[in-house]
Amino acid sequence: MMPPAGGPVRTDLPPAGGRAVDDTTAPPDALLEVRDLRKHFPVRRGLFARTVGAVRAVDGVSFWVERGRTLGLVGESGSGKTTTGRTLLRLIEPPAGRARFAGQDIFAMDRRQLRQLRRRAQIVFQDPYGSLDPRMTVGDMLREVLQVHRLAAGRAREARVRQLLDIVGLSPRHAERYPHEFSGGQRQRIGIARALSVQPEFIVCDEPVSALDVSVQAQVLNLLRDLQRELKLSYLFIAHDLGVVEHISHDIAVMYLGRIVELGRAAQVIGTPCHPYTRALLSSVPTPDPVQARARIVLSGDMPSPAQPPSGSPFHPRCPPPRKDADCVRLVPPLAERAPGHFAACIKEPAWR
Amino acid sequence: MTDAGPRAVPGAGPGGAAGAPGWALLLSALLPGAGHLALGAVGRGVLLVVPWSALLGTLYWARARVFAWEHASLDDFVAAVTAAALLLVLWVGALRDLAGRHVRPEPAGGDSQWVIAARQFRRHRPALAGLALIVLLYIVALLAPWLAPFDPIAQHDIARTSYLSPSATHWLGTDKFGRDILSRIIFGARISLSIGFIATAISVTIGTLIGAVAGYFGGKVDAVLMRGTDLVLAFPRLVLLIMIVALFSPSIPVIILVLGLTQWPGTTRIVRGDVLSLREREYVQAARALGMSRTRIILRHLVPNVLAPVIVTATLGIGNTIVMEASLSFLGLGVQGPTPAWGSMVAEGRDNLLGAWWVATFPGLIIVAVVLAFYLGGDGLRDALDPRLRSA
Amino acid sequence: MTAPATGPGPLLEVRALRTWFHTDAGIARAVDGIDFQVQPGEIVGLVGESGSGKSVTALSIMQLVPRPPGELMAGSSIRFRGEELVGASGARLRALRGADIAMIFQEPMTSLNPVLQVGRQIGEVLRVHRGLAGKAVWRRTVELLELVGIPEPERRSDDYPHQLSGGQRQRVMIAMARAGEPELLIADEPTTALDVTIQAQILDLIAELRARLGMAVLLITHDLGVVAGVCDRVLVMYAGQIVEQGPGADVFREPHHPYTEGLLRAIPRLGHATERLAVIPGAVPSPLAWPPTCRFHPRCPYAWEACAAHAPGLIPLDGRSGASRCWLEPHPERRAGRGYGDVRSGAELP
């Protein structure tokens, strides 16, 4: 069903692979289901700020997060992964597309429903220095959340603050300290405690360990994993480090230039990657293993600007030869099934490997 | 507005039980600072003994006026409260410091950024000197009815008392109407300082709120508010002031309002700029993600974090306002005679600058000194509050 | 080049380097007695977490430590081609910097002048250090841009830094560093701000430049993975000291110092999705108060009484080249039955 690479190609060929992800129904226990999510930022120029174009930060992504599991969203800077996470929590507005959280349409929620959502869906940020209010003690931060959502008052509130600190491995006496008195890893624990204070079911972890030293990174990753098991949490784990993502995720989505280019179970994406970008990414992860480190696929060039995305496959300008041909420049490859539950957006990749 | 003010100052917790010996405490109870001196802590001892003695001396010196109950006015009442409060602060401070001298209990919480800034500020000598002068002036202003040797307004035998050069009786001489310059400067301090303080408080409050709202909401709200701000800013301020004061008769409340209502655009611009960058910070995003209201985010998470530059501009602003008020008074549009105000005193002295130089010179000098003190203090605050200079 | 004949000795020799900082809270012993050499044409990796002193080491070699508060303590020696840099005159150091020793930094955006075309910035180095003028400057600039793999170098040399991508800016930085034809390149976290695919390009470029031009590189990074690919020799820093050194391949295959071991085991590896990562408990101590004996022993899973009693030196390894600052070297039996577990607590403040 695949034309040989380089041979004559008909442009009206059906896409390679099985059904597209958009034709696939999400499993019944999906907590979050995202369909064709788009977020374009207008580019304004000139004296009257006319809209002259758009940065297609997120350009039609579909995925789902199952209850109690982690979807790792991996990509380089500019791939749109952070925008995806924040748009889903409506921290960036307005979005386009559909997103359902526990059956409710996130993008149709009014203020009251949004407040409810924010007790169920939380976020942990990357920057351990910028994500805590420098003028509030840790205890005050947690107390404020409990007060705003009327979750606990008086002695119950104090007890809950102590409990939250304990859950993330800090001690009660840390409550009266200010953020600047903590190390990066401890601040990240505080950020996690703050997210947990509303007892959410779902947390967007936006590069939570990228700014941390290796040894501290391991502490925080282990903590996130323990919490998931104990509190039955679901994560959307956003990171640029494939090693970290593989470690924590059940499922992995690889993003490139605002699109998902590969999606599947972690073992499928890491073990049998289908998309050439995923393969290049896998091979460039720096590993402290001199033998493996020397066998890299080095991609040429940079990721194009999301303001002027290339036609066809977003990856075609950097796709290493010999696979790509004129079709890749013309056709936008659908995210189609290669193996049960394993999707890739590449027309040159044979189905059912 | 918020409760992000200074918190638990280290060492100010409950004083340790074990401390200086009982006899030293007793000494300090009788004369604050004596205990320190006896134990060899000369610096602190002097710092406590001197103001205490100065206060007592003032009370003794002005005893006739202090105990003149039948003529007691609001001024006297304010002075009495101030004196009592100062004495109490010194007395309690001396005892607490002495009791806790050897056992500084570990503070329960950490140091807030305000505490760190205060520590930084203490190292800035010129700023400390400025602060000391400001505090001294405020005390003088509050105790004015007791300190001023003469009535600042009453005119006596003009023929005999006008234009007396500085002497033992009139330290800084007298003016055209025979009024004591020193007394008028002391009373003038109340006018100038309170105008400076209240007008700046008004302008900072307005400026911060407008700036925070414009910065946080952005878009059309921002455009409308900032164009309005630019409009106010574009008016030549002195002309505007003269216009308004000319429309309404110049009284102190009008001057305060007018000064306060024309000074806020500077603060607004600073606050808006800071809020614009702060609102993208992740802790503000986190507050939104936690479902907090916009009012709460602005008042509790944004405003406290832009307060540092606002305080600095406010301090510098007080100095500016005092100069502005002096200019208005000099032009005859400010505080109207016979109420003493520094600006109008300079204006009065202008007529006879060569014959009686002291009439204009001393009020002029005090304006320079006060404004300089506020600038030094503001400079010190800027350094102390600047996070870039801090190794945290 | 003005260089005297390069003798058979090392290109760079650092001895007993101690760089301390006088702070309000006390003396921060950021670099506290390190010794190492870089041979001509060698790539040496200097690895450590934040606060280990690796960047201060780089600044000390360049004599760019701000003084005060920094101070190179008595006895510190940095020899470049046998010439002592500690105490050298400002003029001599300026002549060396850029021409014989070049440095590139983590953030190429802030290390380039934002209002000057990149070609002009490279040209400046060529004029100052290579004495070129006129057309020759432009020709060499284009050559250098081509050498570091910038497409269309003639056009790109007129670009301003903000018009280039992060990876291209780092390439321009490398071109600038190359312009003086240095024998030693100090690269301080050159890939940290870059995406992995771009990171791979830059590392390849550095390795290629070494191969083609024989330039020695001191590669400073927190990322063991980066070092593994390109370095001949690795130095691991912890708390102002070198705790382990040896040939790259050996250090990664068989780490001797418990800190190196912990670091390696804390990294999630592709294809080895283990249930839990090893965790080094606690945090790096404050440079104001390093532990007096072995600086790692409060966090070390193997520590015993000797570790708290005596400070170990860099002990040469048995059977292969390399050294480890650890009492386990003379007492290998102490390894048995212990190692990295896992802690949840982040309680590291007193």
Model confidence pLDDT, tens digit, residues C216-264: 999 999 888 888 878 899 999 999 999 999 998 888 888 999 999 988 8
Q: How far apart are CA B236 and CA B233, in angstroms?
A: 8
What is the DSSP pairing of strand C184-188 with strand C216-221? parallel
Q: Which pair of tokens denotes residue A84?
A: 């995806």
Instruction: Tell me what the pLDDT averaged over chain B comes to.
Output: 80
Has residue B165 been placed in a domain? Answer: yes
CA atoms within 13 A on the CB side of C184: 25
Please give the pLDDT value at position C45. 94
What is the DSSP pairing of strand A234-239 with strand A202-206? parallel
DSSP per-residue string spanning C211-246: HHH--EEEEEES-HHHHHHH-SEEEEEETTEEEEEE
Q: Is the pLDDT of residue A201 over 90?
A: yes
**Are both B100 and B173 inside the same structural domain?**
no
Q: What is the mean pLDDT of residues A234-241?
A: 94
- C-beta atoms of B282 and A148 within 8 A: no
The per-type count for chain B, helices as H runs and strands as E runs, is 18, 0
* Chains linked to B by 3 or more Cβ pairs within 8 Å: A
Bridge partner list, C26: C23
Bridge partner list, C316: C323
DSSP A23: G
Please give the pLDDT value at position C38. 94
**Chain C CB contacts of A270 below 8 Å:** 270-271, 273
Bridge partner list, A206: A238
**Are both B98 and B195 inside the same structural domain?**
no
H/E/C letters for each residue in C129-195?
Answer: HHCCCCHHHHHHHHHHHHHCCCCCHHHHCCCCHHHCCHHHHHHHHHHHHHHCCCCEEEEECCCCCCC
Interface of A with C in 230-289 (CB under 8 A): 240-244, 246-248, 266, 270-271, 280-289
Bridge partner list, C83: C80
Q: What is the mean pLDDT of residues A89-115?
A: 90
Q: What is the mean pLDDT of residues A74-80?
A: 88
Q: How far apart are CA B290 and CA C88, in angstroms?
A: 57
Chain A residue with CA closest to B110: the answer is: A177
A48 phi, psi to nearest 5 deg: -105, 20
Instruction: Tell me what the pLDDT averaged over chain A comes to.
Output: 85
Total residues belonging to chain A: 353
E-strand spans in B230-338?
none
Has residue B1 been placed in a domain? Answer: no
Q: What is the mean pLDDT of residues B349-375?
A: 86
Model confidence pLDDT, tens digit, residues C165-212: 888 888 888 888 888 888 999 999 888 878 888 888 888 888 888 888
Has residue B385 been placed in a domain? Answer: yes
The per-type count for chain C, helices as H runs and strands as E runs, is 12, 13
Chain A residue with CA closest to B306: the answer is: A135
Provide the b/e sequence for C254-265 (b: ≥16 CB within 10 Å).
ebbbbbbbbbbb
pLDDT-based confidence at A254, cuts 50/70/90?
A: very high
Q: Is the pLDDT of residue A57 over 50?
A: yes
Q: Which pair of tokens denotes residue B237?
A: 């301020």
Chain A residue with CA closest to B308: the answer is: A135
Q: How far apart are CA A119 and CA A102, in angstroms?
A: 13
Please give the pLDDT value at position A48. 67
Has residue B213 been placed in a domain? Answer: yes
| Of B327, B372, B365, the residue nearest B347 (C-alpha) | B327
Q: Of B104, B120, B144, which residue sits at a domain end? A: B104
Q: What is the mean pLDDT of residues B126-154?
A: 84
C33 touches chain A (CB under 8 A): no
**Are both B92 and B206 inside the same structural domain?**
no
C196 touches chain A (CB under 8 A): yes
Please give the pLDDT value at position A188. 92
A174 touches chain C (CB under 8 A): yes
CA angle, corner C15, sides to C12 and C18, nearest 5? 120
Has residue B130 been placed in a domain? Answer: no
**Chain B CB contacts of A122 below 8 Å:** 289-290
- Angle, helix C196-213 to helix A276-284, in steps of 10 degrees: 60
Complex ipTM more than 0.90, yes or no = no
pLDDT-based confidence at C275, cuts 50/70/90?
A: low
Please give the pLDDT value at position B42. 80
Best mutation site among A176, A178, A197, A207 for testing chain B: the one with the most B CBs within 10 Å?
A: A178
- Shortest Cα distance from C200 to chain A (angstroms)? 6
Q: Is the pLDDT of residue A211 over 90?
A: no
Q: How far apart are CA B30 and CA B53, in angstroms?
A: 12
Q: What is the mean pLDDT of residues B371-376?
A: 90
- C-beta atoms of A133 and B282 within 8 A: no
Q: How far apart are CA A126 and CA A220, in angstroms?
A: 12
C204 touches chain A (CB under 8 A): yes
- Shortest Cα distance from A14 to chain C (angstroms)? 31
**Chain C CB contacts of A281 below 8 Å:** 196-197
**Are both B60 and B197 inside the same structural domain?**
no
Alpha helices for B292-356 (secondary structure H): 294-296, 303-330, 342-350
Q: How far apart are CA B345 and CA A285, in angstroms?
A: 77
**Chain A CB contacts of B305 below 8 Å:** 133-135
* Chains linked to A by 3 or more Cβ pairs within 8 Å: B, C
Size of interface A-B (CB pairs under 8 A): 76
Closest Cβ–Cβ partner in B8, B288, B305 for A134:
B305
**Are both B65 and B183 inside the same structural domain?**
no
A146 touches chain B (CB under 8 A): no
Bridge partner list, A39: A58
Q: Which residues constitute the domain of residue B345?
A: 158-389
Which residues are within 8 A (CB) of A204 and not within 5 positions of it... i.e. 6 or more apart? A85, A86, A88, A89, A121, A122, A123, A124, A235, A236, A238
Q: How far apart are CA A18 and CA B390, in angstroms?
A: 59
A182 touches chain B (CB under 8 A): no
C25 touches chain A (CB under 8 A): no
**Are both B271 and B379 inside the same structural domain?**
yes
Q: How far apart are CA C335 and CA C343, in angstroms?
A: 20
C109 touches chain A (CB under 8 A): no
Tell me: cis bond preceding A94? Omega within 30 of 0 counts.
yes
Has residue B313 been placed in a domain? Answer: yes
- C-beta atoms of C225 and A298 within 8 A: no
Has residue B366 been placed in a domain? Answer: yes
Q: Is the pLDDT of residue B12 over 50?
A: no
**Are both B351 and B230 inside the same structural domain?**
yes
Please give the pLDDT value at position B69. 66
**Chain A CB contacts of B287 below 8 Å:** 133
Closest Cβ–Cβ partner in B4, B289, B300 for A123:
B289
Which residues are within 8 A (CB) of C150 and not within 5 positions of it... i.e. 6 or more apart? C156, C168, C171, C172, C175
Please give the pLDDT value at position A263. 94
Q: What is the mean pLDDT of residues B60-82?
A: 76
- C-beta atoms of A194 and B291 within 8 A: no
Which residues are within 8 A (CB) of B186 and not within 5 positions of it... i.e. 6 or more apart? B140, B141, B144, B147, B148, B152
E strand or H helix at B264 = helix B252-278
Chain A residue with CA closest to B219: the answer is: A49
Q: In chain B, which residues touch A (CB < 8 A)?
A: 4, 8, 108-113, 281-283, 285-293, 296, 300-301, 304-305, 392
Instruction: Tell me what the pLDDT averaged over chain C comes to.
Output: 85
Pick the residue with more confidence: A32 or B118? Answer: A32
Provide the b/e sequence for B243-280 (b: ≥16 CB within 10 Å).
ebbeeeebebeebbbbbbebbbbbbbbbbbebbeebbe
Q: What is the mean pLDDT of residues C37-47?
A: 93
Chain C residue with CA closest to A305: the answer is: C165
Q: Of B77, B104, B131, which residue sits at a domain end? A: B104
CA atoms within 13 A on the CB side of B123: 9
A86 touches chain B (CB under 8 A): yes
DSSP C333: G
pLDDT-based confidence at C5, cuts 50/70/90?
A: very low
pLDDT-based confidence at B101, cuts 50/70/90?
A: low
Please give the pLDDT value at position A295. 65
Model confidence pLDDT, tens digit, residues C95-150: 888 788 988 887 767 778 888 888 888 888 888 888 888 888 888 899 889 888 88
Closest Cβ–Cβ partner in C225, C249, C345 for A286:
C225
Q: Of B104, B135, B168, which residue sits at a domain end? A: B104
**Are both B92 and B175 inside the same structural domain?**
no
Q: What is the mean pLDDT of residues A77-92?
A: 90
- Per the structure, the count of domains in chain B is 2
- C-beta atoms of A89 and B108 within 8 A: no
- Are the CB atoms for C173 and C104 separated by under 8 Å? yes
**Chain A CB contacts of B285 below 8 Å:** 86, 91, 123, 125, 131
If you search the block for the tokens 């020899």, which residue do you land on? C79
Q: Is the pLDDT of residue B389 over 70?
A: no
Q: What is the mean pLDDT of residues B87-113?
A: 69
**Are both B165 and B304 inside the same structural domain?**
yes
Please give the pLDDT value at position B105. 47
A223 phi, psi to nearest 5 deg: -60, -45
Has residue B178 been placed in a domain? Answer: yes
**Chain B CB contacts of A129 below 8 Å:** none
Q: What is the CATH number of the domain that holds B241?
A: 1.10.3720.10
Q: What is the mean pLDDT of residues A9-16?
A: 44
**Chain A CB contacts of C229 below 8 Å:** 286, 290, 293-294, 296
E strand or H helix at A343 = strand A342-344
Q: Which pair of tokens denotes residue C333?
A: 């039996």
The count of other CB atoms within 10 Å of the CB of residue B365 is: 14
**Are both B202 and B66 inside the same structural domain?**
no
- C-beta atoms of C224 and A288 within 8 A: yes
Provide the b/e sequence for A311-341 (b: ≥16 CB within 10 Å).
ebbbbbbbbeeeebbebbeebbbbbbbbbee
- Angle, helix B181-217 to helix B357-385, in steps of 10 degrees: 30
Q: How far apart are CA A180 and CA B31, in angstroms?
A: 42
- Shortest Cα distance from C277 to chain A (angstroms)? 6
Chain A residue with CA closest to C227: the answer is: A288
**Are both B32 and B180 inside the same structural domain?**
no
**Chain C CB contacts of A213 below 8 Å:** 49-50, 222, 284
Q: Is the pLDDT of residue A309 over 70?
A: yes
Question: Which strands make up the sheet holding A70-74, listed edge to edge?
Answer: A121-124, A202-206, A234-239, A70-74, A251-256, A259-265, A342-344, A336-339
C350 touches chain A (CB under 8 A): no
Handedness of CA B76, B78, B81, B87 (dihedral sign): negative
**Chain A CB contacts of B301 below 8 Å:** 133
Q: Is the pLDDT of residue B93 over 90?
A: no
Percentage of chain B modeled with pLDDT above 70: 89
Which residues are within 8 A (CB) of A270 and not within 5 positions of it... i.e. 6 or more apart? A242, A246, A252, A282, C270, C271, C273
- Shortest Cα distance from A293 to chain C (angstroms)? 5
Q: Is the pLDDT of residue A46 over 70?
A: no
**Chain A CB contacts of B218 below 8 Å:** none
**Are both B216 and B295 inside the same structural domain?**
yes
Closest Cβ–Cβ partner in C196, C249, C269 for A281:
C196
Interface of A with C in 303-332 (CB under 8 A): 303
Interface of C with A in 225-254 (CB under 8 A): 225-229, 248-249, 252-253
Q: What is the mean pLDDT of residues A127-139?
A: 87
Q: Which pair of tokens denotes residue A54?
A: 């758009």
Chain B residue with CA closest to A49: the answer is: B219
DSSP per-residue string spanning B155-206: ---HHHHTTPPS-SSSTT-B-TT--BHHHHHHHHHHHHHHHHHHHHHHHHHH
Please give the pLDDT value at position B108. 52
